[in-house]
Amino acid sequence: MANIVVTGAASGIGAATVELLRRSGNTVIGVDLTGTEIVADLSTSVGRTQAAAAAVEAAHGVLHAAVCCAGLGPLSSHSGGKLVSVNYFGTVGFLEELRPSLARAKQAFAVAMSSSSTSTQPRIPEKVVAACLDGREAEAVELGDEVGAIPAYPASKLALARWVRRQAVTPDWIGAGIRLNAVAPGVVDTPMTSGSDLDPNLAKAIDFYPVPLGRRGRPEEIAALIQFLTSDAASLLTGSVVFADGGTDALLRQDDW
């Protein structure tokens, strides 16, 4: 079957994705800060380069898919700048390093993890989004620190969604046979949203998010979508940002289309 690298493989959505893809017979190489095949810190450019080189080596030069789940949430104790460096630059830098190897597969897939907060959270700081998309990492991190983690989170995820839409349609990606898409989950029950280290009041506030389906998502539900996006069944999708949020985006932005 396929050689697939998954970042954020040790927890939550990444761990559920690793399990599902392995059960389907794929060779899956995990990347995370600890507890997986490749240990790397994707907040640094050295970490991204080393992780990508190790993944390509483990796949004997040909990767068929890359799934980037590594991320830090808005309720974590990390600074806004750290969120920007992991969520945006950790994904973009890693995927750019892997692109030549994905291109060698002729038909390949890449999935980035955006968030439904990009369309539901008010006052996303555009200056952070712009610095990310311009590749000005030091400035984006500084701006992320300035605005704080709660606004920096959707900014990093909005930049990622826009990066996916811009890049997916270029000769480098679709022209090289790589279908690049993003998933935008709503609230999913993982350590990011219900970990014991979170501020309990902020963690409770998440449930004020209106979800027409009536419950949080489960990591396996996002993993199933990722499996689809890394398969031939998704043959017409490129540059798509797929919302999987129990209806929140549709409810809050009904006619904003």
- How large is the angle between the packed helices 126-133 and 137-147, nearest 10 degrees? 160
Q: Which of 3, 50, 115, 248 binds ligand NAD (CB under 6 A)?
A: 115
Q: Contact between 18 and ligand NAD (CB under 6 A)? A: no
Q: Contact between 225 and ligand NAD (CB under 6 A)? A: no
Q: Which of 14, 151, 239, 246 binds ligand NAD (CB under 6 A)?
A: 14
- Which x/- pattern, by CB under 6 A, does the window 70-109 give for ligand NAD? xxxx------------xx--x-------------------
Q: Which of 3, 4, 5, 8 binds ligand NAD (CB under 6 A)?
A: 8
- Which x/- pattern, by CB under 6 A, does the window 168-207 give for ligand NAD? -----------------x-xx-xxxx--------------
Nearest to 250 by CA among 215, 200, 211, 194: 211
Q: Which of 41, 139, 146, 221 binds ligand NAD (CB under 6 A)?
A: 41
Nearest to 87 by CA among 66, 117, 112: 112
Q: Which of 12, 81, 125, 144 binds ligand NAD (CB under 6 A)?
A: 12
Whether 209 is catalytic is no
Tokens of residue 131, six digits: 């610095």
CA distance 140 to 204: 29
Burial 175-211 (b: 16+ CB within 10 A, else e): ebebbbbbbbbbbbebbbbeeeebeeeeeeebeebeb
Set 153, 163, 173, 243: catalytic member:
153
Minimal distance in Å, beta carbon 74 to ligand NAD?
A: 9
Cβ count near 213 (within 10 Å): 11
Name residue 30's beta-bridge partners.
Answer: 6
Minimal distance in Å, beta carbon 86 to ligand NAD?
A: 4
Radius of gyration, CA atoms only, the chain: 17
19 vs 41, beta carbon nearer ligand NAD = 41
44 vs 176, beta carbon nearer ligand NAD = 44
Segment near ligand NAD (CB under 6 A), from 65-73, 93-101, 140-148, 227-235? Answer: 65-73
131 vs 160, beta carbon nearer ligand NAD = 160
| Burial of 254 from C-beta contacts in 10 A (0-12 / 13-18 / 19+) | exposed
Nearest to 68 by CA among 27, 31, 112, 34: 112
Number of residues that bind ligand NAD (CB under 6 A): 28
SS (H, E, C) 150-200: HHHHHHHHHHHHHHHHHHHCCCCCHHHCEEEEEEEECCECCHHHHCCCCCH
Catalytic positions, written as ranges: 153
Judged by the rule CB under 6 A, the positions of this chain that interact with ligand NAD are 8, 10-14, 32-33, 41-43, 69-73, 86-87, 90, 113, 115, 185, 187-188, 190-193
